[in-house]
Amino acid sequence: MGPVGSWVVRAGAGFGRACVGAVVCLLVPGVWAAAVGLGVWCGAEHPWSWIGPAVIVCVGTVGLARPVCRTVRSLVARWTGTGIPDGYRQPGPVTQLSTGYWWNGFSYERSRRDAVMDQRMRLWWSDPATWRDLRFVLVAPVTAGVVAALPPAAVTAGGLGLGQAAAVPRPVGGLALVLAVAVAPYAWRAVEKVAVRFLRPSPAMVLAERVDELTAQRADATVAQAAEIRRIERDLHDGAQARLVALGLALATAEALMDRDPRQAKALMREARAGATASLTELRELIRGISPPVLSERGLVDAVRALALDVPLDVAVSAAGPLRLDPPIESAVYFGIAELLTNAVKHAGASRARVSLVRDDTGLVVEVEDDGRGGADARPGGGLAGLRRRLAVFDGTLGITSPAGGPTRVRMAVPCE
């Protein structure tokens, strides 16, 4: 495609984006204009006739603010790949107390419906993002909306001018069409500039969101630590401790039989030795579940390769050289890979898997891919959701791509120096 063809494609795509951006940015002023027209049509001699249009202006502005802002963010992300976080406060759980009332984090209500409605209203009113969205729908029409409306307005003016029989409007119409073609590839970019400037969360909102995130991570870490302690206690009580008690009883019995029945005493001693060996094996397995020795001795890459040998899959492990990270990060990544490979065996029915570990300027990136049936997602309370929470403690992220029929590709990214 030559330069002319490329310009035509850019102009056509830019014209379409400019039209969409103009419609979205000028939607609220359109509601205002319709309300004013309704007031004029009802008659200006009656002062009360303007109450309805005023209500339409207020309700329309407030009701359209958040949908317009969400649409703008979606368009900017689709057109430019620039993601703009919304920063909206998320509602907390609504729980029923023993008294029968419902608690929504703000007040007690008699029914769940009333509690949810009250929570939504309070969140909407107290959320700084609400007032940021209202500011955007007031600023966008006179900035991005006007600029994005230039190409369609110029095309309209050009069509009207060329349709006139007089000599003067025709050159003006031709100039309008030239202007539309010239600005079409660039006019829509004003939507991105204004959206990035006015729709980004403020530092106070980012800080509040970070505090909420860290609070949730602390709660998850506390719960996970308590669960891990209970698991260790249960394994020790049901496994090694029971075997050691049996070992003590066997030794006491052998001591009592040593003089009367040496043969039976020797048999008990042999059973006690076998019990001691089994107890030692269980203790080693328990220690390996807490922190694999190969992980602390030889590093993450060798630990993952040793793990791949124990998994009933054809696992290929690739890494860009040895990787030594902080022990908590290595442990989280190791057990994350172990859980993903276990899921590939138990749930995906996979036969092959691939593990890739890469260290770049931002941190560690781990990709685990299998040829299973797909359909994996981070359901609340599931293993993948728990893995995402564990990585979030280190500001890590978990990305899942798992279409129906496979393959499943999971990407873990953990920032580290």
What is the pLDDT, as a whole number, of residue 277?
72
H or E segment to which residue 399 belongs: strand 397-401
Q: Which range among 223-227, 305-309, 320-324, 344-348 shows the weakest confidence by mean pLDDT?
A: 223-227
- Rounded to 5 degrees, what angle do the CA atoms 19, 70, 185 make? 30
Total residues found in the chain within this entry: 417
Residue type, 99: T
Tokens at 15, concatenated: 């014209």
Q: Is residue 312 pLDDT above 70, yes or no?
A: yes
Pick the CATH number of 298-415 from 3.30.450.20, 3.40.50.410, 3.40.50.150, 3.30.565.10: 3.30.565.10
Please report which confidence band the pLDDT of residue 15 belongs to, taking 50, 70 and 90 as the band edges. Answer: confident
Residue 57 to residue 415: CA distance in whole angstroms:
47
What is the SS3 assignment for 334? Answer: helix
Q: In what order do the strands lie in the sheet with 408-415?
A: 314-319, 352-359, 363-370, 408-415, 397-401
pLDDT in tens, 341-375: 888 887 777 788 888 888 877 788 888 888 887 77
Can you tell me the mean pLDDT for 372-400?
A: 76
Q: Please state at what angle helix 189-199 crosses helix 128-139, rounded to 10 degrees.
A: 150
Mean pLDDT of 214-225: 62
Number of H helices, E strands in the chain: 16, 8
Cβ pair 151, 187 in contact under 8 A: yes
Taking residues 152-171, report their average pLDDT: 72
Q: What share of the chain is helix, strand, coil (3-state, %, to 5)?
A: 70, 10, 25
Tokens read off for 378? 């981070």
Lowest average pLDDT, out of 26-30, 91-95, 106-110, 378-382, goes to: 378-382
Residue 197 has pLDDT above 80, yes or no: yes
What per-residue confidence (pLDDT) applies to 251?
73
pLDDT at 329: 79
SS3 202: coil
Mean pLDDT for the chain? 78
**Strands (E) located in 278-396:** 314-319, 352-359, 363-370
Q: Is 25 left (phi over 0), alpha (psi -120 to 50) or beta?
A: alpha
Domain residue spans of the chain: 3-83+130-201, 89-126, 204-290, 298-415
Residue 327 has pLDDT above 80, yes or no: no
What is the C-alpha to C-alpha distance for residues 26 and 71, in angstroms, rounded to an integer?
Answer: 13
Cis peptide before 328 (omega within 30 of 0): no
CATH number of 204-290: 1.20.5
* pLDDT at res. 45: 57
- DSSP class of 142: G
**Position with higher pLDDT, 330 vs 379:** 330
Stretch 377-400: mean pLDDT, rounded?
75
- Weakest-pLDDT range from 47-56, 75-84, 142-151, 332-341: 47-56
Task: Specify whether the CB–CB gap between 326 and 364 falls below 8 A.
Answer: no
The average pLDDT across 149-172 equals 74
* Range 240-245 average pLDDT: 67
Q: Supply 393's token pair.
A: 């403690």
Q: Residue 209 pLDDT more than 70? A: no
Identify the CA nearest to 181 among candidates 384, 62, 9.
9
Confidence of residue 72 (pLDDT cuts 50, 70, 90): very high
Q: How far apart are CA 333 and CA 320, in angstroms?
A: 16
SS3 376: coil
pLDDT over 90 percentage in the chain? 3
pLDDT score for 68: 92
Least confident of 7-16, 167-176, 328-337: 167-176
pLDDT in tens, 79-119: 888 888 877 877 777 888 777 888 887 888 888 888 889 88
**What pLDDT was estimated at residue 131?**
87
